[in-house]
Amino acid sequence: MEVAVRRAVPEDAASLVELMHQAAGETLQFILDELDARFSPADVFRHMISSNDSECSYRRCWVAVAQSGAHAPVVGMVNAFPASLLCDQTMPTNLSARELHLWPRTTLQDANSYCINSLAVFPLYRRCGIGSRLIDQAAEQAVAEGFASLSLHVWADNASAVRLYRSKGFKELDRASIPWHPRLPHSGGSLLMRLSGLAEGFVSPVSHKAANPDFGNGVDDQGAAPPCCRLTARDEHQ
């Protein structure tokens, strides 16, 4: 299957909402259940994606599209931007208990890197190397903006996603301790991983066609709703 990667446009919003929900809906729902049950993760993602200045704006997303005749459906996406945008270390005074639960992850960032905030591929198109291709796109954009490294968060117990990132050259930099919670049943906390040594002419350490599965919640999956899903501060996750 031929796949092309391009910048997202406003018309991609519906697909972006589905994919971000796939990547970070669980974490965002965890927060919303306590803050305001009237809103769903899809409502929040829709608002963030349509905004021009949100970290999760369509303007900070790239989409993979299947080249199938006149119809070219969106099959995956990556949301990435400078990690410094997430590095406000001042704790808001009005955080909810569940936001506090995720605070160690929210504040654990690799400030000088380019951050992959969300990565997702629709189930029908997984195991085709699309996730790998989207990571490469984020790396290329990082280099274009003057960054030498990529970073991301992933739940430590998401073994398949961790395996994908390691195959791409990411290494564990640190770990945020997030206690197990019945509404967010992850163990081992959230890993902060980094891909170093990006430079002009970046080439992925594995082929786009390698048999690496693509995982919808790879990053945000980043765990906490992606950090950009902090409802009090910015709008996160994932």
Give yes or no for residue 206 having a pLDDT over 60: no
Per the document, the length of the chain is 238
d(CA 74, CA 12): 8
The C-alpha atoms of residue 206 and residue 227 are separated, in whole angstroms, by: 28
What distance in Å separates the CA atoms of residue 124 and residue 144, rounded to the nearest whole number? Answer: 31
The tokens describing 137, both together, are 């796109």
β-pair partners for 181: 184
Q: Is residue 209's pLDDT more than 60?
A: no
- Cα–Cα distance for residue pair 21/26, rounded to 1 Å: 8
Instruction: Identify how many contiguous H helices and E strands the chain contains and give both numbers.
Output: 5, 7
Average pLDDT over residues 155-172: 95
Output the pLDDT for position 234.
Answer: 28
The answer to whether the CB of 231 falls within 8 A of the CB of 33 is no
**Domains along the chain?**
3-229 (3.40.630.30)
Specify the pTM.
0.83
Give the Cα-Cα-Cα angle 224, 92, 217 (nearest 5 degrees): 10
Q: Which single residue is written with the structure tokens 């506090």?
A: 100
Whole-number Cα distances in Å, 124 to 56, 115, 163: 24, 26, 20
Examine the pLDDT at 106 and tell me if it is beyond 50: yes
Q: Tell me which DSSP letter residue 184 carries.
A: B
Q: Which residues have CB under 8 Å from 99's CB, separation 6+?
A: 31, 106, 230, 231, 232
φ and ψ at residue 76, rounded to 5 degrees: -165, 170
Distances (CA, A) of 35 to 44, 99, 146, 224: 12, 9, 38, 15
Q: What is the pLDDT of residues 47-105, one digit of tens each?
A: 999 999 899 999 999 999 997 656 789 999 999 999 999 887 676 777 889 889 999 99
3/153 Cα distance (integer angstroms): 26
